[in-house]
Homo-oligomer: A and B are copies of this chain.
Amino acid sequence: MSLGNLSTAQQLIKDHSIALTSSLAVLLSVLVFGMGWFSKPTYQPKGKHCYITGGTQGLGKALAESLVKQGAHVTVVARDVKKGERVEAELKALASPGQKVRFISADLIDSHAAEQALIQASEPFGGVAPDYVLMCAGFSRPKFFVEASSQELRDGFDGNYWVSAWTAHTAAKMMVKQRRTGKIVFVSSFLGYASFAGYSTYSPGKYALRGLADALRNEMILHNIDIHIFMPCGILGPGHDAECAEKPALTAKIEEGDTPIQPEECARYLESGLRKGHYQITDNLVCDFVRLRSNAGVPTNNVLLDTFYLLVSTIGVPIWRMTADASVKKFKKSVEADLEAKRFYDAPATTNFK
């Protein structure tokens, strides 16, 4: 570009500064709001068969209600038959005629039971796999590692990882064999990004779900199946109450700034992320900051916002970590006193401690 051209360009910019500024604002808004104006979301629940694990309480139940209201056919799966039948009745009350709503009781930690539940759920649909598989089952019982029994470690893992992995496995096989597309949605946690004292019973399962989802996100491009993973912070409800009942004081201290949200609000965040087509979906800003420091090799949600979050998280996440480490140091003496009171040090070295 010659100098003459340059001054012509300068003149043009001067003349059209308002038009240019507005164009730039539009471009930025488009980038920030994820180009949602131009692409039709592939998340369209109306008339779809949605299969929801852990669907009788908390996030799963809130999601089931929202999906029924949007005109989806909904199958909820959980263990407790009484609770399940009550929820089924509640959901049916929200449904229009022709909408299929159903509860199936299954212990999804068992691979065979997970398979049978999906087969059973697809029967009213001529054996066709559900369109959306949303896996909300999971539980948290924070405990110190040295005080947890082998059984508690195993239960904490199975109840967060295999409870979803078997369902995802069967669903993926069904969808691919039937040459159907669909969405497989995992629910991990903030504690699937980062972890701290008390969560050795929980984070391994939530990280493992991220490992599975990361592998499948790439692999399932082969079969046009969308993989998503939700990384919520605390969700109020019976699960949260049970978690808090046994939580070590140190763990509660590290989390003291957190504000758990209602399941309905949490479900709205999840659905909003699905509409935007985000791979990793979060439900608050802190979780988004942490996401940017944990997203090796997975798609960005929004180029501009994510760049900003990354800058903040680069400074903010280490500060959070140092605060958490400082809390542990502060609790050193009281934890030791507690272990002494429980005669932990006197027990044989390898006995499971309860």
Contact = CB atoms under 8 A, between A and B. Distances in A.
Nearest to A335: B222
Interface string A209-232: 111101110111111000000000
Given A173-B349, A349-B177, A299 B328 contact: no
Interface string A127-150: 101000000000000001110101
Contact of A222 (B150, B207, B331): B331
Interface in A171-200: 172-174, 176-179, 191-200
A329 B298 CA distance: 16
A221 B325 contact: yes
A1 to B, nearest CB: 27
Interface of A: 111, 115, 118-119, 127, 129, 144-146, 148, 150, 153-154, 157, 161, 165-166, 169-170, 172-174, 176-179, 191-200, 203-212, 214-216, 218-223, 250, 290-291, 293-300, 307, 310, 314, 317-318, 320-321, 324-325, 328-329, 331-332, 335-336, 339, 344-345, 347, 349-350, 353
B169 A219 contact: no
A145 B172 contact: yes
B204 A218 contact: no
Contacts of A344: 176-177
Given A145-B220, A153-B169, A157-B161, 8 more contacts: A119-B350, A150-B169, A178-B349, A195-B211, A198-B219, A293-B296, A297-B321, A299-B318
A157 B324 contact: no
A194 B177 contact: no
A179 B345 contact: yes
